[in-house]
Amino acid sequence: MSSVMSGRSGFTIRFTLFAAMLSLGNQAFSQDTQFSLDDRLLNASPYSIAADPELDDHMTGLAEAAISEHCAACHGADLTGRPGVPNLVDFDWLWGITFEETNEVGPIMELVQTITHGVRNTDCPDIEDVSYYGGCADTRYSEMPGYGGLGIFNDEQLADLTEYVLQLSGETADAAAAARGEALWPICIECHGPEGFGYKPYGGPDLTDGVSLFGNDRETVLDVIKEGRTEVCPAWGNTLAPATIKALAVYIWRRANGG
Ligand code: HEC
Ligand code: HEC
């Protein structure tokens, strides 16, 4: 009997609290219909940002300040990158964006993901976030293996693979060596795709488009295949506000599209 009683009074108290919260919520809502520019930016599609000059100015201001303070050191003030750091405005993407998108919302979410969680980021505020491969949860992750140290290929085979990559990227290559390299290519498909067009979920670059992260010369290509590469972009979710990250994603996408 007493447990039924306390159950009932518990219900009454919870119901009263719930009703009080509802009316408080209503009050807050009716008094604060004017959301901050940051809130509006976070909830707006790229189309509604472009259609609202005040919001568009806010987005541009946040993005340009963050770029000169946080991104220019690596990606350059004009965001065109340098060896090992990608150009962010050439519409050639390593991560997530497949070129088959039919609207602007998906690619901007991919950029928000990359900027928030970084690439191969290992600086996790909460140690439990470290995943089995050593990166933080949600960071973009994969590795270009260093085949020189793996004992899979000998020096001739590494040179043959180099000629095949040069051929894929339209550089002058030794045709016979490239044909031998092509026979070894299946091991590379997982991240660069059967035809070398790249694989966005693993950040494996397109090797056929003439855009090169590290360089298209023979010496650099051989070095990448032999030594591997694991470049890092920091996780900006550790330091930048969500509205700034959204502004960066919208701004970078627009610049990459020529805007
Ligand atoms: C310490 C150097 C460094 C800084 C600072 C840096 N980045 Fe990066 N960023 C990189 C590197 C290196 C990569 C390439 C990682 C890889 O190999 O995939 C990258 C990749 C990216 C990508 C993925 C591009 C693609 O093609 O998918 C985005 C987006 C990006 N950075 C945005 C930013 C933004 C925005 C800032 C500033 C808030 C910033 N980065 C600051 C080094 C940096
Ligand atoms: C497990 C995934 C993975 C496999 C397998 C892999 N790669 Fe890569 N490769 C990458 C990633 C990721 C990068 C970019 C590394 C970075 O940005 O730090 C890359 C970069 C490269 C580059 C430099 C491209 C540029 O734009 O400068 C070359 C060349 C290359 N890989 C060749 C190969 C060859 C040849 C093989 C097979 C023998 C191979 N890769 C296998 C993931 C892979």
Ligand nearest to the Cα of 147, by number = 2
Q: What is the pLDDT of residue 137?
A: 83
Total domains present in the chain: 1
Task: Give the tens place of pLDDT for each residue, 242-257.
Answer: 999 999 999 999 999 9
Q: Hey, whose CA ends up nearest to atom 34 of ligand 2? A: 188
Q: How far is the CA of 88 from the centre of ligand 1 (A)?
A: 8
Judge whether 219 lies within some domain.
yes
Looking at 17-31, 57-71, 201-215, which range is the least confident one? 17-31
| Cβ-Cβ contacts under 8 Å for 14 (sequence gap 6 or more) | none
How many whole angstroms separate alpha carbon 18 and alpha carbon 14? 6
Q: How far is the CA of 179 from the centre of ligand 2 (A)?
A: 19
Full-prediction pTM beyond 0.75? yes
Question: Structural domain of residue 176, as residue ranges?
Answer: 155-227
Q: Sign of torsion, CA 80 82 83 84? A: negative
Closest by Cα among 202, 240, 206 to 115: 240
Judge whether 121 lies within some domain.
no
Judge whether 19 lies within some domain.
no
Judge whether 255 lies within some domain.
no
With a 6 A CB cut-off, is 256 part of the ligand 1 pocket? no
DSSP string, 99-118: S--SSSHHHHHHHHHHHHH-
pLDDT band at 125 (very low <50, low <70, confident <90, very high): confident
Of 89, 119, 229, 254, which is best to mutate to test ligand 1, by the most ligand atoms within 8 angstroms of its C-beta?
119
Q: What is the pLDDT of residue 135?
A: 79
Judge whether 67 lies within some domain.
no
Cα distances (Å, whole numbers) of residue 7 to 20, 54, 207: 20, 53, 67
Task: Give the tens place of pLDDT for each residue, 189-244.
Answer: 999 999 999 999 999 999 999 899 999 999 999 999 999 999 999 999 999 999 99
CATH code for position 179: 1.10.760.10
Report the mean per-residue pLDDT for the chain.
88
Average pLDDT over residues 157-177: 98
Q: How far is the CA of 188 from the centre of ligand 2 (A)?
A: 8
